[in-house]
Every structure is written in C-alpha cells, then in structure tokens.
Amino acid sequence: MKIILATNNQNKLREAREIFSPLGIEILSQKDAGISVNSEENGTTFAENALIKARAVYELVHLPVIADDSGLCVDALGGAPGVYSARYAPEHLLCETLLENMKNVPEKQRTAKFITAVAFIDQNGSEITLEGTCAGVIGFEKRGVNGFGYDPVFMFGEKSFAELEPEQKNAVSHRGQAFRNLYEYLKNHVQQEEN
C-alpha cells in the first residue's frame, strides 16, 4: 500500500516512514508522487487545516493521503500561537519571539502543549481525523540541536525536545502519538481489506 504524505518536510517524512513501515505501507512525499501543491491553511482548528492539505493532494491523485497540522498552545498566551504557530514569526525567529513574549511569565505559569491533528483520506475519498498531544513547559532559553520549530524551548521533563534523540522524541511527541493513532486505524483497515 502506498500513501502520500502531504508534505516535503524531511523530518515529518522520516517520522512517518519509521512509524508506518511495519504495516508494509510505503510513504511517499509530494515530490516522490510528482505533485506540487500549496494549500491555504485557513482553518480555525488543526483538524480543519490537516483536511485542507489532505484534500488538496487527494484531488490531484485520488490515492490515499495523510496530512497533518501541528502547533504549540501556550497557556499563558491564551493558547497562542495555536493554529498560527508556523506564522507566529519568521521561521528562524520562532523561539526568540516566543521567549520574548514570555519573558515576564514565572516558571509555574509556563505550561504548554503541542497538538497534532492528522487527516487520512483513503482511495475512495473517505476521511478521518485523529489527534495527538504532548504537554510540557516553555523553558527560558533555547537548548539542544535536534528537532525543529519550537523544539529548543519546549521542555519535556528535564530536556527540551531538541535535546532528545529522534527515537525518544517520536515515542512521546504529539505527531508521533497522532501517527500511532492512525497506525492503529490503518492496521484494522488493512486487516479488514485482507479478510
């Protein structure tokens, strides 16, 4: 079974391939599938944005598609940046902007969570969305060299996401959880097709 992941992000692609390979599912990037589409993520929830991306790819190829939308929700900022996480600041200034906006927030009030919604459209056009979350706190400085986005300032226990090895992060991350939820769904889906 081949599924197109509606992204060209190599980090997301690697994570998805690691999670879905035990099912014998080959994950293709948009580039692998020979398609280029940039959909406008104008949904008000992560699930809406994931579906927008998945539908844009599905309309071109009519093959199974996975898309996700993720973001960081910080309690002290009223849930911001939320669905605007990627557009909160220029990509190279995401962490700096967040730290600046939280400079006067005391440690006990720095709680946050990452959320991922993943959308799956099968070859017949049926749609589902699933979610994964990971709770943590926003640190006071950037730490670590792994990961991307807000990973250097998102503390999970004693370490930032950017200090964790990829396998450690995948085991606890919001995206890893959402993909594993989809894995369970697809496992049942594939077994039903075989029976």
Contact 61, 4 (CB under 8 A): yes
Distance between CA 87 and CA 89 in Å, rounded? 5
- 67: Cβ contacts below 8 Å, ≥ 6 apart: 5, 6, 7, 50, 51, 52, 53, 54, 57, 118, 119
Contact 112, 74 (CB under 8 A): yes
Count how many Cα atoms sit within 13 Å of the Cα of residue 162 in the half-sphere of its side chain. Answer: 16
Distance between CA 105 and CA 107 in Å, rounded? 7
Contact 152, 144 (CB under 8 A): yes
CA distances 158 to 47, 143, 153, 166, Å, are 30, 11, 12, 16
Is residue 151 part of the annotated active site? The answer reads no
Count how many Cα atoms sit within 13 Å of the Cα of residue 152 in the half-sphere of its side chain. Answer: 16
Q: Omega into 22 within 30° of 0, i.e. cis?
A: no
One of 32, 69, 122, 151 is an active-site residue; which one?
69
Q: Which residues are catalytic?
A: 69
